[in-house]
Structure 1
Amino acid sequence: MHPQSSSSPSGTIMVLGGDGYLGWTLGLALASRTGRQVVLVDNLIKRRWEKEAGAKVLVPLKTPKARIAEYERLYGGQNLSFEKVELLDPGAVERVIAKYRPAVVINAAQQPSAPFSMSSAKNAAATFSNNIVGHLNVLWAIAGLSKATTYIKLGSAGCYMGTDTDWIPLEKKDFTFEDHGAQHQVLQGFLPMQATDFYHQSKITDLLIDDLCSKIWGLKVITVQQATIFGATIPENHPEECEGLAARFNYDSVFGTVFNRFVCQMMIGHPLTVYGDGSQKTGLISLADTVENFLEFTDLDVAPGEHQVLHNYTHRLSISEIAQRLAAIDPSTQIRHLANPRQEPVGRLDPHVEVHEAIAARHADKEARLQADMAAMLEFTYRYRDNIDPSIILPTVEWSVEETEAPVPVRRDPGAVLPAPAFYREVAEG
């Protein structure tokens, strides 16, 4: 096998969150298809979060360095590397940016799960710290060291989940509203964004930080409002002999996205678990389409001080429609409706989403690609169906919080030295 590299690579691409489902896949594709130097950056904390949540992956996940060695063995490429970096440490972020002076930084280093963010105060705080503080540290480093860098931040289409609208534009718009019989205007504002969980609230904050920093520091910034991703592979890691290049593929109720969960449930004869009546709609895009689109995004011309917002989606389906499409493939598949553990608003309007010209062509044959992507996903998950653990399928996190009695305060010696919190002990111990 040989990488499908371009003849004129130009500048290093750094992928933050390079151990993740999307981050690793993007890094692999960018290295294979462009020939550019690609640096994966991660602190590997997602592996610890998965253990805490009882999550598992479909295919055993090798370390980043082991996967890079497999890439070199299978494709002969020497243009993929890994750096272990804690984005919460501004000094560490500055050092890695200064070392590579990347032409493009893609930040996919996110705690990506709404259920995880709603599972406890600790995990809500970890979501905000990881997603927002890490993001700020990267922006500060780029502003101080590498303003020529194009910064591509992974956002979320879920930022609009609580907004009842019929149109989601790419750019800022002028808005008119009525109050007490009088007309008022808002000039050049983003469509109001309303989250339904702490993860998506962090993404709203991220977008607004992107907009602020692009202006005050003259940075070149793209926010990609990413739809829900489905799929397990891309051409580089789909063949059986490429198992060592497998991406993280979660199918549990905490980290697994809906389409991926449904397919794994289908593989073991488990009913597809639809939350509520299933009428809630979601934007969808395959892993293969996501990669293709990001290849376009890395080549976009962004001016200093400009903030572009892109909506990265291909399909829009309700949860019931996803389940029904899969059930149509295997008539023995059952669909089971569960009480919805989430608090998802039901709007009156059906929002349409503006598509950026860079990816508009990929919407032309999207139904045919959906069928092909589903077929590839079903074949791959069937190959590893014996790895699926049915005990982690049902939801374990509810958005509601039950009131309990306050804990009895513990009296302490005022002169005693309190132990450091676990997080800081772990960092200090390396």
Structure 2
Amino acid sequence: MSILITGADGYLGWPATLRIADRTDDRVILVDNFGRREWVEEVGATSATPVSSIDRRLDAAREVHGLSNLSFVKGDLVEKSFVDELLVVHEPDVVVHTAAQPSAPYSQINGERANYTQHNNMQATRNLLWGLEEHDLTNTHFIETTTTGVYGAPEFPIPEGGATMENQGEADDVPFPAMAGSWYHLTKSHDAANLRLAHQQFDIPISDVRTAIVYGTETAETREDDRLKTRFDFDYYFGTVGHRFCAQAVAGYPVTVYGKGEQRKPFISLEDAVEGLAQVALEDPDDRPEGLTVYNQVTRAISIVEIAETIADVGSEFDLDVAVKHFENPRDEDETHKMEIENDRYADLIGGQNQTFEEGVRDIFETLTRYDDTIESYEDRFLPSVLVDE
């Protein structure tokens, strides 16, 4: 038995690799081309936590956790010949596909980066799916982290996967329409459609894990040694809103909320996201749902203003005097949108929320206060213009 994990050097992929490898004796093959490291450097940013080389990470995994079942392959999934060789040599029973250019802002910089994002993300997924078909590996369980961003922000509760469409008195279950708001998010909408098509045409068992905004710096495995730390991006392009707010607080700036900030976004802690991927990857084939299963990998929706206020409250535990300031909203958005998103299937999978947002923020501050010099050195990469212009 073997498990292939793509994007295994990434923010989510690396800690997921550690947990999966720790719970199985199967061979776990890590695949990455280190693109995330290059993209972050390209926009003039860095990870707040020092990111060890893959060799040091693997050494630490063996020394600290006794993980002797890990091996690494460097390669680009956009190259079909590489994917073909990878699948033929390793014949994986499970593929956990976390590799992607994951930043919506990066994909919006210009046409070149939009094209790159779409080509990179969708070509990699298609190569893997077609590779399984062409090399007689259609029993392989294919798991991909797509995104809750494929749903957009509808006014009605978001289902866990499909939707029911009614017309002229007739109704049928259909895939949820692509309502993505960026060139990146649209790649995952296309991936979701291609996953469905691959299941229909090739009968590959598929788990479409639609991942919410992930926050946090640690999992049970990464806490044990600094060499095992995952990356933590806090810049405008690759840092999520909660991470940027925490960076502002550590650097001594107020947390900025545009408008009322009552709009809610779907969130999940790094700990809970890793647990979900491990549960799906290691599920007994006899117990796993048949066909294509969609999971909304989210534990709750949180408003922007609640994020800011929680960061301010937790920051006081670290002797940080964090103010929350509201500014006129330059964006065209509903500042009071009350997103509702169903997650029953996912909650059952992980046994409910294992880390609260407050606990995740505490983790972040414990990490970032160790690397406050890095945060302050790169403050031009995350400070919003309303603070720069003050």
Q: Secondary structure at the match of 1:97?
A: helix
Which residue does the alignment assign to 1:33?
A: 23
Change (3 A) 1:171 1:197: closer
* Separation in structure 1 between the aligned mates of residue 57 and residue 152 of structure 2, nearest angstrom: 36
Superposed CA offset, 1:260-307 (max 9, x none): 222222222222233443222111111111111112111344889811
- Give the superposition deviation at 1:73: 2.4
Which residue does the alignment assign to 1:356?
A: 345
User: Of residues 197, 213, 219 in structure 1, which corresponds to 2:182?
Assistant: 197
User: Of residues 291, 294, 303 in structure 1, which corresponds to 2:274?
Assistant: 291
Structure-2-length-normalised TM-score: 0.89
Superposed CA offset, 1:16-41 (max 9, x none): 11111011111122112333321110
User: Of residues 310, 316, 319 in structure 1, which corresponds to 2:295?
Assistant: 310
Indicate the RMSD between aligned Cα atoms, in angstroms.
2.3
Which residue does the alignment assign to 1:151?
A: 142
- Is 1:100 aligned to 2:90, yes or no? yes
* Paired-residue identity, %: 30
Change (3 A) 1:207 1:25: same
* Separation in structure 1 between the aligned mates of residue 266 and residue 347 of structure 2, nearest angstrom: 18
* Separation in structure 2 between the aligned mates of residue 349 and residue 31 of structure 1, nearest angstrom: 38
Change (3 A) 1:144 1:42: same
Which residue does the alignment assign to 1:334?
A: 323
- Is 1:217 aligned to 2:208, yes or no? no
Q: Secondary structure at the match of 1:309?
A: strand
- Give the superposition deviation at 1:202: 1.0
Q: Secondary structure at the match of 2:71?
A: strand
Superposed CA offset, 1:340-392 (max 9, x none): 565545686642314206636633x66x7433333223212222222212121
Which residue does the alignment assign to 1:48?
A: 38
Which residue does the alignment assign to 2:381?
A: 392
- Given residue 196 of structure 1, which amino acid in structure 2 is its aligned partner? G
Which residue does the alignment assign to 2:242?
A: 259
Which residue does the alignment assign to 1:428?
A: none
* Separation in structure 2 between the aligned mates of residue 31 and residue 361 of structure 1, nearest angstrom: 18
- Is 1:278 aligned to 2:250, yes or no? no
Which residue does the alignment assign to 1:129?
A: 119
User: Of residues 367, 374, 378 in structure 1, which corresponds to 2:361?
Assistant: 374
Superposed CA offset, 1:22-68 (max 9, x none): 11111122112333321110111222211211121011212212211
* Separation in structure 2 between the aligned mates of residue 87 and residue 304 of structure 1, nearest angstrom: 28
Contact 1:157–1:283 under 8 Å retained in 2 = yes
- Given residue 324 of structure 1, which amino acid in structure 2 is its aligned partner? E
Change (3 A) 1:316 1:66: same
* Separation in structure 1 between the aligned mates of residue 19 and residue 276 of structure 2, nearest angstrom: 11
Change (3 A) 1:339 1:108: farther
- Is 1:164 aligned to 2:155, yes or no? yes
- Give the superposition deviation at 1:75: 2.5
* Separation in structure 2 between the aligned mates of residue 83 and residue 155 of structure 1, nearest angstrom: 23
Which residue does the alignment assign to 2:214?
A: 229
- Given residue 4 of structure 2, which amino acid in structure 1 is its aligned partner? M
Contact 2:180–2:186 under 8 Å retained in 1 = yes
Q: How many residues align?
A: 376
Change (3 A) 1:348 1:84: closer
Change (3 A) 1:175 1:99: same
Which residue does the alignment assign to 2:388?
A: none
Which residue does the alignment assign to 2:62?
A: 72
* Separation in structure 1 between the aligned mates of residue 174 and residue 101 of structure 2, nearest angstrom: 27
- Given residue 56 of structure 1, which amino acid in structure 2 is its aligned partner? T
- Given residue 172 of structure 1, which amino acid in structure 2 is its aligned partner? G
Which residue does the alignment assign to 1:422?
A: none
Change (3 A) 1:386 1:32: farther
Q: Secondary structure at the match of 1:264?
A: helix
Change (3 A) 1:28 1:287: same
* Separation in structure 1 between the aligned mates of residue 7 and residue 81 of structure 2, nearest angstrom: 18
- Is 1:141 aligned to 2:131, yes or no? yes
Contact 1:164–1:347 under 8 Å retained in 2 = no
- Given residue 391 of structure 1, which amino acid in structure 2 is its aligned partner? D
Whichever of the two has the greater Rg, that structure is 1
- Given residue 152 of structure 2, which amino acid in structure 1 is its aligned partner? M
Gaps of 5+ in 2: 386-390
* Separation in structure 2 between the aligned mates of residue 342 and residue 136 of structure 1, nearest angstrom: 34
Contact 2:262–2:337 under 8 Å retained in 1 = no
* Separation in structure 2 between the aligned mates of residue 271 and residue 347 of structure 1, nearest angstrom: 22
Contact 1:219–1:304 under 8 Å retained in 2 = no
* Separation in structure 2 between the aligned mates of residue 304 and residue 214 of structure 1, nearest angstrom: 13
Change (3 A) 1:120 1:341: farther
* Separation in structure 2 between the aligned mates of residue 19 and residue 61 of structure 1, nearest angstrom: 9
Q: Secondary structure at the match of 2:345?
A: coil
Q: Secondary structure at the match of 2:23?
A: helix
User: Of residues 154, 179, 193 in structure 2, which corresponds to 1:208?
Assistant: 193
- Given residue 381 of structure 2, which amino acid in structure 1 is its aligned partner? I
Contact 1:168–1:354 under 8 Å retained in 2 = no
- Given residue 60 of structure 2, which amino acid in structure 1 is its aligned partner? E
